[in-house]
Amino acid sequence: MFLNKLAAIRDLSRLHDIAAILIRYGYGDIVARLGLTSLLERAGLEHSATLEYAHLASPVRARRALEEMGPTFIKLGQLLSTRVDLFEADWITEFSKLQDSAPALPYSQIEQQLTEDLGAPPEHLFLSFETQPLAAASIAQVYRARLKDNSDVIVKIRRPGIKSIIEADLRWLMRLAELAEQEYPDTLSFQPRDVVRQLSRSLKRELDFTIECRNADRIAHNFAYYHDVTLPEDTKITPDIVIPRVYWQWTRERVCVQEYIDGIPGRQLAAVDKAGLDRKKLARLGAHAVLKMIVEDGLFHADPHPGNIFYLPQNRIAFIDFGMVGHLTEVRREQLIQLLLGLVQHEPLRVMDILLDWTGNSAKDETELNQEIASFLDQYHGMPLKQLRLGEILADMAALLRQHQLRLPSDLILLIKAFISLEGMGRELDPDFNMAGEAMPMLESALRARYKPAAVIKRGIKSINEAISLISGLPHDLSTLLRAARRGRLEIHIEITHLKHLGNQLDGAANRMVIGIVVAALIVGSSIVMTVPGGPSLFGLPFFGLCGFLIAAAGGLWVLMSVWKSNRADRD
């Protein structure tokens, strides 16, 4: 049944490729459980696992398999690299190595789609268009062009046909996640279906370039008047943080046109020194910029690694690629400030309360959790700020939650990933970079700003408006409640997890009992039929009696398998 759902015609060739890769990396048992063995045999593939990669560690094998399976799985690995609440450090490190690159498609294969999206051939719209791509990734290729007003731009083009490939992969992944949760109870702690749903949302946003460009515009607006006070006064003639301008007249779902950034790529640190830029100032500026996005704006670049950053003259920084951004509500930002202050100022109760509020769960033993958090913070108590690695602290904190089976929401996972990337980039620029020292003044300033009279009055007015709205709607709610009660339609829904599980067990037991009774009746009836002469026969036996015994055997086998699976699930 699973294979029938899975093996839609449109997905079969893709499944063939994926299954072959899984087998090559020693995951043949997964292929067998998916019911793809017969499919591969018909295609002439061996389904026994090879020993080619047996010597590799499990995280390495998983990463290399994801690389070979293509863009969707590379994105999956990149997403998993952010899930410090689910995976150990060695897995996170390996997933972080996944690079989104691919051989470039010839321009001739892209030209027709580009003409359709732009509404005219590129040579009619641009003064010049370079057909050799600047970069090629799994989802898009980037070309350099010049507008008729002599502005240099980049043209980002989605690869033709990539959307259908990704959609097929996502269907396959969701079914694989469902199978994993059914057949491997240990994987429930990794939340396979939730991870696939998160991946699906992320990829759908990334496939639509208008979403990325809207993010860029919003962040550019937030930095329109930003100037870092640590830089000399004479640099105020230009913004410290540069976000590429979007040319909306040529931007569509499959193509976007943005300002070309002529700077030093973030990975070329030798070029930074050669250009005479101050690496310490760049590290501080990058940290302040991302902290501003997180603490003040609530919209932040979720992947600030060196590949998404350029260094510009006058110690300025340009951010590119806003396909992955994080969103934080005002309430969440205040909680974040309280958490970071609690971590640095050694306040375990404050930290635990915020973490439990974030996870939406209660720890099995809150006293034990509080003690572990206190012990965790003791490691850093009294340590100078310059020695604190804030990204590592947050990652270790997520690992502590993982031990207590508590899960952070996705926006906070992105936040931790951003902190880790930012701190790593800062230390590459400046070995003495102190993320905690840079963050503390901004956090304390943001906390003080919250209690300024204007901010308190604003929150008070908002609370009063909400209270008035609630009170004004109360008569209508009461009227609706009483009307439902008079008509006998008042319903109270109470869901108790343990009772629901018990109900499911009773339903399963009843189903097995009914099938058992039917099997017994078939056996008795078939035995009687066997003694009655006449009628059709097969192999010298009464046909109907034989059919009854076969159906009874199948039903009995089903009952045995059902009981075995139920007992195994109870033990797990």
Q: Which residues are catalytic?
A: 303
No. of helices (H) and no. of strands (E), the chain: 23, 13
Rounded CA separation 220/228 (Å): 15
Phi, psi values for residue 363, rounded to 5°: -70, 150
Give bridge partners of residue 24 from the DSSP assignment.
Answer: none
Contacts of 33 (CB under 8 A, 6+ apart): 179, 183
Give bridge partners of residue 258 from the DSSP assignment.
Answer: 154, 246
**Chain centre to alpha carbon of residue 551:** 47
Rounded CA separation 466/463 (Å): 5
Rounded CA separation 176/6 (Å): 9
Residue that the structure tokens 């790529």 belong to: 265
Rounded CA separation 22/26 (Å): 6
Angle at 242 between CA 95 and CA 151, to 5 degrees: 110
Q: Return the closest-CA partner of residue 358 out of 382, 329, 378.
A: 329
Rounded CA separation 9/11 (Å): 5
Rounded CA separation 348/365 (Å): 15
Three-state secondary-structure class, residue 452: coil
Helix or strand (DSSP H, E) at 342: helix 330-344
**Residue 470 near residue 364 (C-beta atoms within 8 A):** no
Give bridge partners of residue 319 from the DSSP assignment.
Answer: 309
Token digits of residue 509: 């037991």
To the nearest 10°, report the CA torsion of 155, 160, 162, 163. Answer: 90
